Structure 1
């Protein structure tokens, strides 16, 4: 039986605030602050437990090897000898943002009846460009069943940042859907990370029906305001598209196409007059998990920052009270990840599949999360300051912590990946 599964990235022990992501205002604003890797990872686990308590299926993706010594060797250096900017890039915990791991097309949408996953190349920014080999290794383990086809990345220079720029709408998860790929156009203040050529290549690789596949340009205003990915200003689930008025360059054309392809689509557009782009991005209103509960309720899982932003919370409460498509709000605390530039949606990759076809090492229940939490309490650093990145003791702790987690979940083959 097909159902939606959220695969959350476990926040790695190297979580730090190096400010490596231009256009991600939270990440650059907090550059140089002291991070709390242990608290960050535990907050992520609490989010997963909350999802399980709502009746949702939950999986995990595992932290990558940090520092990435293999990447540094390819650059002719080592962690000890690398210049500070390469050291920071090699130490980044950005693989925690599982929404950037891959683009996923469920089996009802693909010509061959298989679920397709294309690993994102993340070619735009150096600190993310070296993630894809380990991401691909994990995806090939988790989705080794014949029900899936896992693709390597689209080659650079065509930048692809995965599911953060992809949306799917369908009457229900196991029905044929329509897929929307959102791309940016270069030339603004910040990089446009998703290229249209990459999105079109993925649609071809996945065997999608051109009549049910759409390509929409993200508005330059949204990118300039700090919407470095589409999922900072729009999210879709089931029949519901939830978006800011300024999310897309030509929203009226997109909405007309969607209504023609899926007449039952429900478009919830938040007016800029009610919630500014700045408030939407600072609160991560749209970087929320929009999910369907077993009861059928469409529910929005938002960070605490959304409740603490008056314009955002006022609009949300009015929408729910007015019997809008979103029927329920859940608030979670992911402050550490928010401070590094990503909210609830950034932390998860959505896969519609039969859980029985997935490697059980990548699926979790409350008991398994409790065991992982206890390991994190023992092994993850409590805090990392900028100057700590040069400390051999920290490197040993980070590498040992990841190895302990991989041993616990039975994925020792990834230790040297």
Structure 2
């Protein structure tokens, strides 16, 4: 058996973190739209969550924020003059585009890409396809910069294949790892790749909220990566209508265990059966929570399933790392406590404070991209992007120098934010050894 570990690469929250309510179907983002955010608290919460994982013995990496405001995008819409003039004019004449250009949404690295480990790929490399995030304007701006970040973290083309995003059209709408779960006996062994889709690209969709992932996108990624053990399952229409914009809001898995809400899949029995058939050398364990025990509305508000389910060194049972909102929701907390007391596969629950992210509809699982790596693959990553005690301290000090304590949506029009953000990213480029010209503003 090949030895491998599951590493996490978290998105570092950017200086323009705000509550602009840009994501239809994301109930938390809509509820908090227009309120003031705290970018400094947000980035420090994210860093502390990363450190918690590193302290627990898991490899933890940092993905840099994207350049925001995205001035090149606005220039492409015909706005000219100085960068400050471009931002000012766009906010006056096309505020929807200005808000999209300022979004810090790349922080949610679960949407960065879909990953197939070398144990499952046809050519024995780790494959990444950045998500095109076609459904939402502000997120559709991300994939080119995401690819550069992944190439910086995984620079060896002999071991890693970082693809372009799928063609950014509605038929191939792709939301990344938020709709992907890998099950296996051990991280280094061949596994089952569960790819969850919300709609068929060639059929009409009449739901109240967008179904963001198409079946055709999931199929294309499985083909491109040569992914063995691929199982495609349809996301529950009822769950999407209730505000489950990604499947990871109601489903998470690790090793042989799939933990999900009863409304996660359109055909739960069929999904379980397909996973069992695809499983090679292990028997999957399904931990299903009923609607009676946890109504869908509570599952969404508490983000019980948008937790991180991890296998920690030296522990035989899995650990569930939940947001504090799970602890504060009586029904979700009761479910979590029953899991621990049932002598099942989940043996421990821990809580992390990511409230700034949660208010935009992103829990602990949204902030991370999981990547299974062998020892040789881990050694081939960019060491400057791996979180250590020293890097955590340096990034916390960096955030203290550059990030605002309060940011209202109206503040995004402040031209000073351009210089603040660029100053922060310029310094970060050196901290993470990203190389010259990593960001567009560094190339002009």
TM-score (norm 2): 0.92
Residue 345 (structure 1) aligns with: 365
Does the 8 Å CA contact 2:9/2:369 hold for their aligned counterparts?
yes
Shift of 1:291: 0.4
Q: Does 1:238 align with 2:255?
A: yes
CA distance in 2, matches of 1:180, 1:132: 22
CA distance in 2, matches of 1:280, 1:326: 18
Does structure 2 conserve the Cα–Cα contact (< 8 Å) formed by 1:100 and 1:164? yes
1:224 to 216, 241, 249: 241
Match of 1:404 in 2: 427
Aligned partner (choices 292, 304, 311) of residue 273 of structure 1: 292
Give the aligned partner of residue 349 of structure 2: 329
CA distance in 2, matches of 1:27, 1:361: 33
Residue 10 (structure 1) aligned with residue 12 (structure 2): yes
Matched, 1:95 2:112: no
Deviation at 1:2, TM superposition (A): 2.4
Report what 2:265 is aligned to.
248
CA contact (8 A) 1:111 1:208 kept: yes
Q: How far is the alpha carbon of 1:391 from its aligned partner?
A: 1.3
- The two structures have a TM-score, normalised by structure 1, of 0.97
Alignment of 1:11-410 (within 5 A): 11-77=13-79, 78-82=86-90, 83-145=94-156, 146-157=158-169, 158-185=172-199, 186-209=205-228, 212-262=229-279, 263-296=282-315, 297-353=317-373, 354-410=377-433
Instruction: Describe the superposition over 1:360-416 as per-residue Cα deviations: whole angstroms up to 9, x where unpaired.
Output: 122111211111011101111111112211112223222222222222222243132
In structure 2, what is the Cα distance between the partners aligned to 1:333 and 1:43?
A: 6
SS of the residue aligned with 1:214? strand
Contact kept in structure 2, 1:381 and 1:397, CA below 8 Å: no
Shift of 1:239: 0.4
SS at structure 2 position matched to 1:215: strand
Q: 2 CA distance for matches of 1:339 and 1:237? A: 26
Deviation larger for 197-206 or 135-144: 135-144
Cα distance in 1 for residues equivalent to 2:278 and 2:417: 53
Give 5+ residue unaligned stretches, structure 1: none
In angstroms, what is the RMSD of aligned CA positions? Answer: 1.1
Alpha-carbon distance, 1:20 to partner? 0.2
Conserved 8 A contact 2:384-2:431: no
Divergent runs of 4+, >3 A:
none
Local SS of the residue matching 1:181: strand
SS at 2:89 equivalent: coil
Partners of 2:413 and 2:126 lie apart in 1 by 43
2:251 touches 2:259 (CA, 8 Å); kept in 1? yes
Distance 2:308 2:342 in 1: 21
Q: Is the 8 A contact 1:246 1:277 kept in 2?
A: yes
**Residues 297-337 of structure 1: CA deviation (Å, up to 9, x unaligned):** 31100000000000111111112111111111110000000
* CA distance in 2 between partners of 1:153 and 1:396 (Å): 30
Distance 1:412 1:144 in 2: 12
Partner SS state of residue 108, structure 1: coil
Secondary structure class of the residue paired with 1:40:
helix
Task: Give the C-alpha shift of residue 144 in structure 1.
Answer: 1.6
